[in-house]
């Protein structure tokens, strides 16, 4: 018993004045763990290894579960009576606990007896036997959240992958669109490929970073800013490449084809749109959800979050449908071009590079879609 609440571990019930309070499985397990370890600082890694043992769960999902506990026990995170947050450290259950029917069995009593004996720290173990260090409350001073506690760019592995592949798509398109006349333009295209790659990969990184920082600091228009960063990068690239890409058709077709510059403009339009729909907007939405969950403003599962947040929302199923439709149309378009190509010394090179370019675009979209789905699933898992 703590405050006016009774926690029945045997029947997995939380009650207040005889009234049962609904609490789903993981939040209930979190509350039970906090109560049994009263007075100790519990890290997210500790919760991950015990409450979510054997499953993969993100920090925002854990915070989501803790916020559900706080709402159930009517605990204000700004003035906590039960669960206190130590920023950058973890959580402490600070209320007194009265045991009923299980004298001497709680971890809280063990913590108290250890403290009386002068023990400030103790090692605890997860279900798999992995030692986990739990710091006592005396060792940690309460910290206030600052920008220094926030990562400059979350989900860095994903961000690095998409930035590198995004840069490759722009630089590879230059080589692909001039490869039919590789003897005349190939060397220059290869030399231009590196600075184009660095420019576009760097601006994508900058767009993601700007979006995450604006979201973290609660500023509006984050998605618009990141989209504008990419638009500036693409337009400035097209203006710069006007002097190199010829204004005549290089590729020999049985019908009038596009000029090399127009073909690259078309590729830029596709890749820019791909970057917005599959990279920037899903990233913006996930980062926005994580901020909302950390702030304790969301209490529902991700299946309904679209109705409760201002963040841009695109369903993974819709993204997949868009990807399948665009991919099918792209293959039909490429097949039409290939059927009308006239023989030339670099015909095979041109066909291979165009196919590789489409494959890389598909790989980028699929990775983003998988990442998006896994993050939404991870956030939802924390509430179940």
Contact 172, 193 (CB under 8 A): yes
Q: Is residue 256's pLDDT more than 80?
A: yes
- pLDDT band for 193, please (50, 70, 90 cuts): very high
Q: What is the pLDDT of residue 302?
A: 44
Q: For residues 34 and 53, which has the higher predicted lDDT (pLDDT)?
A: 34
Q: Is residue 345's pLDDT more than 50?
A: yes
Please state the separation of Cα 242 from the chain's center in Å. 37
> Where in the chain does DSSP place strands (E)?
5-8, 13-16, 19-21, 40-42, 83-86, 90-93, 121-125, 131-136
Contact 272, 234 (CB under 8 A): yes
Q: Is residue 361's pLDDT more than 80?
A: yes
Angle between helices 222-240 and 260-274 (to 10 degrees): 160
Of 37, 46, 42, 40, the residue nearest 138 (C-alpha): 40
Q: What is the pLDDT of residues 242-255, one digit of tens each?
A: 889 988 888 988 88
Of 151, 155, 213, the residue nearest 372 (C-alpha): 155
Domains in the chain: boundaries: 5-144, 150-381
Beta strands across the sheet bearing 131-136? 83-86, 90-93, 40-42, 131-136, 121-125
Which tokens belong to 201?
A: 């990969």
Q: For residues 9 and 228, which has the higher predicted lDDT (pLDDT)?
A: 228
Question: What is the C-alpha to C-alpha distance for residues 91 and 44, in angstroms, rounded to an integer?
Answer: 8
122-136, 160-174, 304-318: lowest mean pLDDT where? 122-136
Identify the CATH number of the domain defined by range 5-144.
1.10.10.10
Q: Using CA atoms in the order 298, 301, 306, 309, what is the torsion angle rounded to 10 degrees?
A: 10
Q: Using CA atoms in the order 234, 236, 239, 243, what is the torsion angle rounded to 10 degrees?
A: -100
- pLDDT band for 240, please (50, 70, 90 cuts): very high
Q: What is the pLDDT of residue 182?
A: 92
Q: What is the pLDDT of residue 199?
A: 97
Please state the separation of Cα 144 from the chain's center in Å. 24
Contact 147, 214 (CB under 8 A): no
Contact 67, 299 (CB under 8 A): yes
pTM value is: 0.64
Question: What is the C-alpha to C-alpha distance for residues 236 and 16, in angstroms, rounded to an integer?
Answer: 63
Angle between helices 107-116 and 25-36 (to 10 degrees): 30
Which tokens belong to 1?
A: 């018993």
Residue 324 CA: distances (Å) to CA of 136, 258, 318, 321, 352: 53, 26, 10, 5, 21
Question: What is the C-alpha to C-alpha distance for residues 329 and 327, in angstroms, rounded to an integer?
Answer: 5
Region at 320 (left for phi over 0; alpha for psi -120 to 50; beta for the rest): alpha
Q: For residues 295 and 236, which has the higher predicted lDDT (pLDDT)?
A: 236
Question: What is the C-alpha to C-alpha distance for residues 22 and 95, in angstroms, rounded to an integer?
Answer: 21
23-37, 114-128, 182-196, 302-316: lowest mean pLDDT where? 114-128
Contact 283, 230 (CB under 8 A): no
Q: Is residue 13's pLDDT more than 60?
A: yes
Place of tokens 């019908």: 255
Contact 84, 91 (CB under 8 A): yes
Q: What is the pLDDT of residues 74-106, one digit of tens each?
A: 888 778 889 988 877 889 898 888 876 544 444
Q: Is residue 71's pLDDT more than 50?
A: yes
HSE-up of 268 (CA within 13 Å, CB side)? 22
Q: What is the pLDDT of residue 177?
A: 92
């Amino acid at each position: 018993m703590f405050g006016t609440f009774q926690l029945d571990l045997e029947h997995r019930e939380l009650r207040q004045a005889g009234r049962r309070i609904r609490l789903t499985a993981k939040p209930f397990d979190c509350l039970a763990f906090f109560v049994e370890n009263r007075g100790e600082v519990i890290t997210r890694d500790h919760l991950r290894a015990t409450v979510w043992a054997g499953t993969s769960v993100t920090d925002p999902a854990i915070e989501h579960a803790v916020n559900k506990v706080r709402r159930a026990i009517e605990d204000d995170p700004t003035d906590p009576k039960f669960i206190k947050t130590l920023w950058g450290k973890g959580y402490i259950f600070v209320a007194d606990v009265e045991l009923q029917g299980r004298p001497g069995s709680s971890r809280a009593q063990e913590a108290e007896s250890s403290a009386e004996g002068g023990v400030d720290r103790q090692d605890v173990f997860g279900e798999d036997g992995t030692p986990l260090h739990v710091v006592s409350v005396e060792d940690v001073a309460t910290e206030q959240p600052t920008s220094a506690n926030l990562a400059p760019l979350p989900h860095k592995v994903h961000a690095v992958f998409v930035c590198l592949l995004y840069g490759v798509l722009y630089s590879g398109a230059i080589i692909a669109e001039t490869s039919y006349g590789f003897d005349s333009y190939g060397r220059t295209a290869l030399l231009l490929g590196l600075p184009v790659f660095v420019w576009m990969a760097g601006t994508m990184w900058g767009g993601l970073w700007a979006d995450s920082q604006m979201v973290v600091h609660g500023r509006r228009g984050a998605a618009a800013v990141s989209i504008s960063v990419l638009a500036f990068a693409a337009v400035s690239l097209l203006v710069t490449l006007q002097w190199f890409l010829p204004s005549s058709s290089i590729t020999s077709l049985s019908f009038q084809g596009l000029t090399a510059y127009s073909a690259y403009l078309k590729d830029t339009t596709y890749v820019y749109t791909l970057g917005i729909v599959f990279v920037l907007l899903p990233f913006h939405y996930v980062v926005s959800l994580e901020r909302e969950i950390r702030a304790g403003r969301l209490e529902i599962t991700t299946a309904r979050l679209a109705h409760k947040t201002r963040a841009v929302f695109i369903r993974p199923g819709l993204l997949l449908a868009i990807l399948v439709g665009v991919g099918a149309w792209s293959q039909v378009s490429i097949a039409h071009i290939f059927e009308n190509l006239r023989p030339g010394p670099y015909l095979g090179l041109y066909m291979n590079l165009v196919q590789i370019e489409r494959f890389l675009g598909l790989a980028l979209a699929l990775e983003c879609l998988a990442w998006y789905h896994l993050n939404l699933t991870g956030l939802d898992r924390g509430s179940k």
